[in-house]
Amino acid sequence: TDEHMEDGVLISDEFTNPIKRRAMMEKRMRKVDGIEAAVPPPTLLGPRDADVTLIGWGSTRGVIEEACEILNDEGISANQLQIRWLVPLHGEAILEILKDSRHTIIVENNYSGQFARYLRSETSFVPDGHIRKYDGEPFMPHHIVEAVKEQLAGKTKLSVPMHEITV
């Protein structure tokens, strides 16, 4: 690797210098700790004692917010945990928020549930259900609303909405 000191001098050109390499790695990790302290943890949006908690990150924010409004209007209390940062994740804060959730569903725009797997690897958290969309089109609020209703009724644990094509 091209490991280097602060002044730009490559230490990878030196015949193994583990002391300098460790010092540089420890310096980097102190920066990560500082970033974690500076970045606020995620917060729960909506009623704390909701029937369902929708968890998302990135581009799902707005559509989850709209879906929660619709669900709440229809008598299904819903709240939203939107993760803004994957690193630092604030895993302990996330677990504290989710510990009292009745039913948790992760909403994501991919086939394999990448965020759910990442969240599980970092926190051991396993959601009750998943809503995944991977047809290249964005989620619409009704996709999430319909999937939540199916999952709360016990019909499925994985919903994959299809985008309606109109000509």
Give dist(CA 159, CA 103) in Å, integer.
15
Task: List residues bridging with 10 in a β-sheet.
Answer: 4
Q: What pLDDT shows up at residue 167?
A: 58
Please tell me whether residues 53 and 30 are part of one structural domain.
no
Cα dihedral across residues 118, 121, 125, 127: positive or negative: positive
Per DSSP bridges, beta strands 78-83 and 44-45 are: antiparallel
The one-character DSSP state at 49 is T
Please tell me whether residues 69 and 132 are part of one structural domain.
yes
Q: What pLDDT shows up at residue 36?
A: 83
- Residue 108 maps to a domain: yes
Please tell me whether residues 50 and 20 are part of one structural domain.
no
Distances (CA, A) of 156 to 31, 147, 148, 160, 163: 43, 9, 10, 10, 19
Provide the domain count of the chain: 2
Please tell me whether residues 138 and 85 are part of one structural domain.
yes
Please tell me whether residues 7 and 53 are part of one structural domain.
no
Instruction: Please check the confidence at residue 1 and state whether its pLDDT lies above 60.
Output: no
Confidence at 35, pLDDT banded by 50, 70, 90: confident
- Residue 50 maps to a domain: yes
Average of per-residue pLDDT across 26-48? 90
Please tell me whether residues 25 and 91 are part of one structural domain.
no
Please tell me whether residues 149 and 105 are part of one structural domain.
yes
Please tell me whether residues 34 and 49 are part of one structural domain.
no
- Residue 122 maps to a domain: yes
Task: List residues bridging with 161 in a β-sheet.
Answer: none
Mean pLDDT of the chain, nearest integer: 90
Please tell me whether residues 30 and 82 are part of one structural domain.
no
Question: Which of 13-22, 62-71, 148-157 is predicted least confidently?
Answer: 13-22
Please tell me whether residues 31 and 65 are part of one structural domain.
no
Please tell me whether residues 117 and 60 are part of one structural domain.
yes
The whole domain housing 25 covers 1-38
